Amino acid sequence: MPTEPNDLITGDAEVRAILADPAYLVPPAPPVPVTEHGTMAWLRAHVARFCDGQVHDRRREVTEQELARLNPALLRSAAAELAGTELDRAELDRGELAAAGGEEPFDVMVVARRVPAAVLATALGVAAAARDGAVDAVLASASGYPNPDLAGPGADAGVQFLAAVLGPADAELLATRIGLLEQACDATAALIGNALIRAFTGEEYDQDGAEDAGEIIAGTLASDPPVRRTKRLAPDGGTVTLDLTTCTFGAGRRPCPGADQARALAAGVLDAVLARCELADQQLSYLPSPNLRMPARLLVEFTRRR
Ligand code: HEM
């Protein structure tokens, strides 16, 4: 079990006050040489997420402009359609397995992770032929984006691939687009996983699908939030850890600008999964992260109610 940091601030009012206070800065990404391009260090050094002041204001504006191109209603229907296709494939595989005398539930976290990344990549301009490669690249690099110490061996190659398929564009715009995919990846997958557990196990879930996916997601954001912590540098130079369980999209000076898109992508995946799957028998387990509450896997079976 990870140990609790002794600088953890949990009171909602105090957390919100710090997030609104310009004297508390985000831990910055180190700068990279001007000759460096397309690495994880380059990406972190060029996005809004890891800087402050005027540079942040400028990049935040670029971020919001890019997000304004991503219509939530279209993201939801695209996510539902693609999740449906992924489930078709998984169901076919399971059918063949069953015909061969085997039986195996399906880990729907694969859909929770891949579908939002694929839909966002397409909406940001990735060509159809490069889409699956872009999803692999996001998954290979996402762990190193918030914390380079956790970067896997494919992190730099993943960013390099994304830079090739999301460009050409100047460094900040290119990094912003890649950053949107990285920001969305684990947080949205965790939101989907937690919302599916809520829907499958909660009394309020109507088996006929009467409760809208949007309502399930709103309930999940309040009662089982996916993003749990962030950090700030205090004016005295120390680092504080902020508990975000009462404001999982952040608050104050720089809340998540992708909240509408995240809710829409999650709702689309839920629309597809809840229409035809049920929870398989299993012991639920979560990834060992203090910042993110994400099911390690989530086994479902096909109900054939489609
Ligand atoms: C489409 C999916 C998403 C996109 C495109 C997105 C994008 C972003 C971006 C660009 C930032 C940096 C903003 C800045 O520093 O100015 C950010 C911050 C943040 N995002 Fe998201 N995000 C997504 C999903 C989510 C989800 C599902 C959650 C949690 C429910 C979440 C929680 C946060 C939080 C808490 C921050 C602020 C961190 C801090 O202040 O330290 N995001 N997001």
- How far is 114 from 135, CA to CA, in rounded Å? 6
State pLDDT tens for residues 62-84.
Answer: 999 999 999 999 999 999 999 99
Q: Ligand 1, atom 21: nearest CA belongs to which residue?
A: 256
The helix or strand, by DSSP H or E, that contains position 107, with its residue range, turns out to be strand 106-107
At residue 43, the 3 state secondary structure works out as: helix
Nearest CA to ligand 1 atom 1: 262
Residue 60: CB within 6 Å of ligand 1?
A: yes
d(CA 33, CA 37): 9
pLDDT for position 303: 86
Q: How far is CA 190 from the centre of its chain?
A: 7
With 0-12 / 13-18 / 19 or more C-beta atoms within 10 angstroms meaning exposed / middle / buried, residue 2 is exposed
User: What pLDDT is attached to residue 94?
Assistant: 83
pLDDT at 158: 98
- Report the pLDDT value the prediction gives residue 202, as an integer from 0 to 100: 82
* 8 A C-beta contact, residue 83 and residue 273: yes
Give residues with Cβ within 8 angstroms of 95, minimum separation 6: none
Report residue 303: phi and psi, to 5°: -95, -15
Residue keyed to tokens 């105090």: 14
Q: Best mutation site among 18, 75, 188, 256 for ligand 1, i.e. most ligand atoms within 8 A of its Cβ? A: 256
Q: Which CATH architecture is the domain 8-302 placed in?
A: Orthogonal Bundle (1.10)
In a structure prediction context, what are the per-residue pLDDT tens digits for the chain, which is 306 residues long? Answer: 455 776 999 999 999 999 999 999 999 999 999 999 999 999 999 999 999 999 999 999 999 999 999 999 999 999 999 999 999 999 998 877 677 766 789 999 999 999 999 999 999 999 999 999 999 999 999 999 999 999 999 999 999 999 999 999 999 999 999 999 999 999 999 999 999 999 999 865 555 545 799 999 999 999 999 999 999 999 999 999 999 999 999 999 999 999 999 999 999 999 999 999 999 999 999 999 999 999 999 999 998 644
Which atom of ligand 1 approaches the CA of 190 most closely?
A: 27
Query: Is the minimum distance from the CB of 49 to ligand 1 under 6 angstroms?
Result: yes
**Residue 73 one-letter amino acid:** A
| pLDDT value at residue 305 | 46
Cα separation values, 197 from 63, 222, 270, Å:
31, 14, 11
The Cβ of residue 245 has, within 10 Å, a number of other Cβ atoms equal to 16
What pLDDT sits at residue 95?
77
Burial class (CB in 10 A: 0-12, 13-18, 19+), 129: exposed
Query: What spacing in Å lies between the alpha carbon of 88 and ligand 1's midpoint?
Result: 31
For the Cβ of 63 lying below 6 angstroms from any atom of ligand 1, the answer is yes
Does the Cβ of 194 fall within 6 Å of ligand 1? no
Helix axes 171-201, 109-123, angle to 10 degrees: 150
Average pLDDT over all residues of the chain: 94
Write down the domain spans for the chain. 8-302
Instruction: Pick the atom of ligand 1 nearest to 251's CA.
Output: 40
Q: Is 47 in the pocket of ligand 1 (CB under 6 A)?
A: no
